[in-house]
Amino acid sequence: MSPEDAPRFAADAMLGRLARWLRALGFDTAYDIAIADPVLVELANAEGRILLTRDRHLLRDLRPQRAVEVRVDDPLQQLRDVAQELALTGPVAMFSRCLLCNALLVPLSAREQELLLAGMEHAPSGPVLHCPICRKLYWDGSHARRMRRALEQVLPGWGAT
């Protein structure tokens, strides 16, 4: 699935962990715990996003144009259910978005990586990406491997990409 063809999401305040999983898979997922439900629905409608919510009242009263009601508590089961309901075929681009703010990640240059990681005891050996908005660093370390294994449990084949 190409990024241009991939669905875009807006997650309500109760779905922060699901939003992080969707971002890890490369899906553009708006999430802000402080946003009011009417504003969230307006954002989703205006930007053509699929609203993900656990709030039946939001669905009934505010009637978003496109929405999926999330019914389970476990974030990985939520992800599996959303993927099945929307017939998602796999990740867009694993670990291409910031898990915190949703921005697209940018590779550090070799020189930037050398300067930044010089003093680290266990510096990553592969490429390092950074978020241009919140400045968080990402690399393919043990956390990414654990996430891939967890994905394989609920969505076989998705953690390998």
Reported as a single tens digit per residue, the pLDDT across 129-148 is 999 999 999 988 889 999 99
Q: Return the half-sphere exposure (C-beta side, CA atoms, 13 A cut-off) of residue 1.
A: 19
Q: Which fold has domain 1-92?
A: Rossmann fold (3.40.50)
Domain spans of the chain, in order of start: 1-92
141 vs 59: CA distance, rounded Å:
39
**Separation between Cα atoms, residue 37 and residue 78, nearest integer Å:** 20
| Rounded-to-integer distance, Cα 161 and Cα 159, Å | 6
Summarised one tens digit per residue, pLDDT across range 93-109 is: 999 999 999 999 999 88
| Interatomic CA distance for residues 149 and 52, integer angstroms | 24
Taking the model in full, what pTM does it have? 0.92
